[in-house]
Structure 1
Amino acid sequence: MSLLTIGGKAIHRGTKEIVSVPVTKDLGVEINIKAHILAGRHEGPTFLLLSMLHGEEWFSMLILRELVRIIDLNELRGNIIAIPVANTSAFNTGTRCVMDNSDEPDANRAFGGEYQWLTNQITRVIDEEFMSKSDYMIDYHVGTWGCTMADIGYGADYPDPKLSEISREMALAYQFPVIHQMKLNKGTHSKRTSMGRAALHHSIPAIVPEIGGLGFGENIEKAWLEDNIRGIMGNLKYLGMIDGEPDYCDKYLFVGDYWRVSPKNGGYLEPVIGLDRQFTRVEKGELLARVIDPETFEVLEELRSPGEGAIFYTCRSYMTRPGGWAYGIACLEDDNSYWASK
């Protein structure tokens, strides 16, 4: 493809452009999607990178900012479309979902929607204006303030097994030791998500990196930023968009079944197990954290591991509401989750 057209604007080879694509008008504010288009000087595929479908996951914006800064268009084959803020409506309110009383407030559960809710219109523009012109995709979902994710999701059940294999190889080339085998037709990872839509409607191999969070200090967050940049560069190498071969981890935790351990009560979440135990084994019943009533200081509940497993996302102390993010534990009681080499 010698020329890419986004939002009616032709992007010429060897150029960087910011294109603003209108979505709709909300009460007193325009809803647009701004995309950084990096057009390499050489022929190649188009790689879509999405960030902040959930408006409070703003750490991923820093990843795309750094990528745009370091990419050399003279070396790039093909195009990169980088969207730092996919959901400006939720970002404006600092919330995961759009605050509009809709039936579908979560933009990453609204792809393919037939109605005119804000999330339907936002995802429709992403679908028609960006996904339809892309060959590969990354959609970032990182931790919000107080919690951190730690895995790379890939589509394990594409209708075409070859696409599942490409998705898996993209995850491995991200050079992070936890790989989550996602089902595109089951549970929250369904056809209504960005990855499900890319896979099942456009046949686009995609991955969902979930590395990093907020509130852990600049040194830790800088290391997560470096992890993600290394992962993108590994993918560009694997896809032939820049020279070189990706490096790989010596060993990966492949996550199949896992437990999401979240509080039933709102309160002050006080971890017993934190980042120092990430990727380590926990026993069934092991104490993970306590939830403290912020008014009476009583212990409202204890969070314990439901079974024998390995922690792959965790949290720091913070005020949480019921169901808030706390721990993800890969189940090691059967063969669905396991440590293995590439």
Structure 2
Amino acid sequence: MLINGLVIRPGERVMTRLVISRLPSRTVIDVPVYVYRAQEPGPTVLLMAGMHGDEVNGIETIRRLVRRDLLQPLRGTIIAIPILNIYGFLNFSREVPDGKDVNRSFPGNPRGSLASRVAHRFMREIMPLVDYGIDFHTGGAARANMPQVRCLLGEDEQTDALAAAFAAPFTLHASLRPGSLREAAMQQGRRIIVYETGESLRLDETGIELAIAGTFRVLHHLGMVPNAVPAAQPSIVCRRHTWLRAKFAGLFRSHVQNGQFLEKGQVYGSVADPYGEGTVRLESPTAGFVIGLNHMPVVNQGDALVHIAWPDNLPPGRTEHWPHLLEAPPKSKEEDEEQV
């Protein structure tokens, strides 16, 4: 296997750095890439986070996997990239300095914008080696996502199998977006699923532990690790989902939680005039699960407030709230040294 000009042989584990560019101060910007190869041949799996620099939950997920030395496959290869967008990470930002989104810039251009150059380097060095991948994300801005996998459902058996193996609390059908990593991967016959949890710049402990457990289930499904903790509950599959948006500007107060089931007509929040002249109660036009929630108190007309999903396989005995959706699997016995 050749990455970044470095030959990596079976049984080796290495860390190499993809040099992306330099800051005006001449500081080199590079992307650390961890590669773990088994002696026995098998698939190559990509674990990547930090496409958006402020989405810290994926970064922390891969950091724990690397720190705890949990990425030693029985066969095949694991490529782990904790942070792709170093620029955004340093600036607490979703974008790179030119204001563009890396995840709308694939497959990239070596002479294009900075985001396009980052995407091109990844596509040239990493993507040709990958068979399957998990792209870890976090809700943007002040929007918190319920732990969920997003992928194209019902169009590719291997992608469906990856999502089922991960077994996140929710599995959503999500169309391919132009310029996204998933679209670029699909065009090359590679299967990538996206895992989302929490909101930007805040660690979601439950979502992180669910991410680690789901990753191991995917690796176990591919025969790369000997065992994995089964999911506590079957994933709730949703092929239809939409955001409820603000019809009025003002101060938004939510009356619901992520994972809660909303009945049609149920009040899910209110928008108040900041000068105390009135308040509008917000009623849900449909029933469904809350899988995303805006925590920003000041909203404008059209802002996304609550993400609602209609389940394909609604579990029996429905109740107002599903506590099991927020239960993380037991933590690893190995504790981080950072706790000392």
TM-score interval w.r.t. the shorter chain? 0.7 to 0.9
Question: What's 2:67 paired with?
Answer: 69
User: Equivalent residue of 2:269, what SS?
Assistant: strand
Corresponding position of 1:310: 289
Matched, 1:327 2:306: yes
Partner of 2:4: 7
Percent of residue pairs bearing the same amino acid type: 24
After superposition, the Cα gap between the structure-2 partners of 1:8 and 1:311, relative to the gap in structure 1 and judged at 3 Å, is: same
Query: Which piece of structure 1 moves more, 16-25 or 46-55?
Result: 16-25
1:18 aligned onto 2:15: yes
Deviates more, 1:14-23 or 1:166-175: 14-23
Residue deviations 1:135-168, cap 9 Å, x none? Answer: 11111111246432122012237xxx5xx11111
Change (3 A) 1:5 1:182: same
Pair 301,340 (structure 1): closer, same or farther in 2 beyond 3 Å: closer
Pick closer, same or farther for the CA change 1:301–1:111 going to 2, 3 Å.
Answer: farther
SS at match of 2:30: strand
Which residue identity is paired with 1:260? W
Structure 2 alignment gaps of length 5 or more:
316-340
Q: Secondary structure at the match of 1:206?
A: strand
Post-superposition Cα deviations, 1:194-237, rounded to whole Å, max 9, x if no partner, equal: 1111111x201110011233577x7xx22221101100000000
Partner of 2:42: 44
Distance 2:247 2:24 in 1: 35
3-state DSSP class of the match of 2:126?
Answer: helix
Match of 2:261 in 1: 280
1:254 — aligned with what? 237
Structure 1 pair 147/128, CA: closer, same or farther in 2 (3 Å)? same
1:141 aligned residue: 137
Of 212, 218, 232 in structure 2, the residue corresponding to residue 235 of structure 1 is: 218
Q: Is the 8 A contact 1:90 1:98 kept in 2?
A: yes
Q: How does 1:77-226 map onto structure 2 within 5 Å? A: 77-100=75-98, 105-114=100-109, 116-144=112-140, 146-150=142-146, 151-156=148-153, 161=155, 164-184=156-176, 189-190=177-178, 192-200=179-187, 202-213=188-199, 221-226=204-209
Q: 1: distance between equivalents of 2:211 and 2:272?
A: 34
Q: C-alpha displacement at 1:25, in angstroms? A: 2.9
Shift of 1:262: 4.4
Query: Taking structure 1 as reference, are residues 227 and 325 closer, same or farther at Cα in structure 2, changes over 3 Å only?
Result: farther
Q: Assess, with a 3 A threshold, how the Cα gap between structure 1 residues 314 and 73 changes in structure 2: closer, same or farther.
A: closer
Q: 1:263 to 1:8 in 2, by over 3 A?
A: farther
Give the distance between the partners of 2:72 and 2:89, measured in 1 at CA.
34
Change (3 A) 1:82 1:293: farther
User: SS in structure 1 opposite 2:243?
Assistant: strand
- C-alpha distance in 1, partners of 2:15/2:249? 41
- More displaced stretch, 303-312 vs 233-242: 303-312
Residue 86 of structure 1 aligns with an amino acid whose one-letter code is L
Residue-pair matches, total: 312
- Among 45, 56, 69, the alignment partner of 1:58 is 56
2:31 and 2:86 in contact (8 A); partners too: yes
1:125/1:75 CA distance change after superposition, 3 Å: closer
- Contact 2:252–2:271 (8 Å) recurs in 1: yes
Query: SS in structure 2 opposite 1:338?
Result: coil
Map of 2:319 onto structure 1 = none
Equivalent residue number for residue 29 of structure 2:
31
Contact 1:313–1:327 (8 Å) recurs in 2 = yes
RMSD of aligned Cα (Å)? 3.0
Q: For 1:270 and 1:241, how far apart are their aligned partners in 2?
A: 46
SS in 2 for 1:339: coil
Cα distance in 2 for residues equivalent to 1:299 and 1:57: 36
- Contact 2:37–2:73 (CA<8 Å) still a contact in 1? no
When residues 312 and 119 of structure 1 are mapped into structure 2, their CA distance, relative to the original with a 3 A threshold, is: same
Deviation at 1:325, TM superposition (A): 5.7
| CA distance in 1 between partners of 2:248 and 2:97 (Å) | 23
Shift of 1:134: 0.8
Partner of 2:52: helix, strand, or coil?
coil
Read off the aligned partner of 1:33 and give its amino acid letter: V
